[in-house]
Amino acid sequence: MTNERSKLLPANVCLSSSEVEVKQLEAQLAAADLRIKELEAALAVASLSPESRDNVIQLVREAAA
């Protein structure tokens, strides 16, 4: 049984390492998705007229306060 256990250990270690890597990649993907959404919002605001842009910026500031 000890021999069988030692054969499984490397597979478990590899699986654990893969799980950590998957979690890291998922976190990076979530961060990238958020950044894309922020950039899309910035582009949308930038395309507004100056007065509308100022209104949006003021609304965001008020919401953040």
Catalogue the E-assigned strands of 1-65: none
What is the residue-level pLDDT of the chain in tens, covering all 65 positions? 455 555 556 666 667 888 888 999 999 999 999 999 999 999 999 999 999 999 999 999 999 99
Q: How many CB atoms lie within 10 A of CB 48?
A: 13
Its pTM surpasses 0.85: no
Domain range annotation of the chain: 2-64
CA distance 8 to 16: 12
Structure tokens of 52?
């509308």
CA distance 15 to 12: 5
Integer-rounded Cα Rg, in Å, for the chain is 24
